[in-house]
Each structure stands twice: as structure tokens, then as C-alpha cells.
Amino acid sequence: DIVMTQSPLSLAVSLGERATINCKSSQSVLYSSKNKNYLAWSQQKPGQPPKLLMYWASTRESGVPDRFSGSGSGTDFTLTISSLQAEDVAVYYCHQYYSPPYTFGQGTKLEIK
């Protein structure tokens, strides 16, 4: 199974500041023949189901604000929120869809400092 490890597990950032969340996979999730990283990011607010933010590591889902961006390739990935807004308080999960069983990171809890 591919193990997904996120860091940090909790993060407090001031409004308007940058937030950075890291995700590392135990093996590459880059499908070389397609040159695509099978890595997604989702956001879960309290009492709600997860919501897809990014896929292919850096493609924003429709309707997601452009302050959210994703980067990385192979085994190391980053989700960046360029200017934190109050509504961004949530738990963020990375998720590999390279091969089943599909696995998630432990989650990173993002709060306002």
C-alpha cells in the first residue's frame, strides 16, 4: 500500500499570510507514460464531508479560489494557500489515486493564529 504522510499535522497562520502543507508518498505516484501525478487535495470543514480542491497535483477543481495552489512531483507535494482567509479553516487531506487501495494522509488541521 502507498503510505501518505502529511506535515505538519496542525498549523496556525495569521489572516492574509501564506499557509503551506506538505505531503509525501511512500512510492512515486507519477504515471510516467501520461506524465501525471495521481495526487489530490481535499478540504474538510467541521461537520461536512470532504471537498475536492486539487487533482493531478496542481489542477484546481472548478470553483476553487486561485489562492489555492498545488505543486510537486513523484513523492513530494505541497498545497499552498497564498493569503489565508477565515473560511479556509479546515482539515486538509492529500490522497493518492495511483493504485488501490487508495490512501489518504493523516490530515492537517489549519487554524487562524
Residues that bind other proteins (CB under 8 A): 38, 40, 42, 48-52, 55, 61, 93, 95-107
Q: Which of 43, 44, 75, 38 is nearest to 58 (CA)?
A: 38
**Closer CB to other proteins, residue 25 or residue 42?**
42
Could you give the 3-state DSSP secondary structure of residue 106? coil
Give least dist CB 8 to other proteins, A.
15
Omega of the bond leading into 50 within 30 degrees of 0 (cis) = no
Q: Which is nearer to other proteins, 60 or 82 (CB)?
A: 60
| Lookup result for grid cell 489530490 | 40
* Beta carbon of residue 25, minimum distance to other proteins (angstroms, whole number): 13
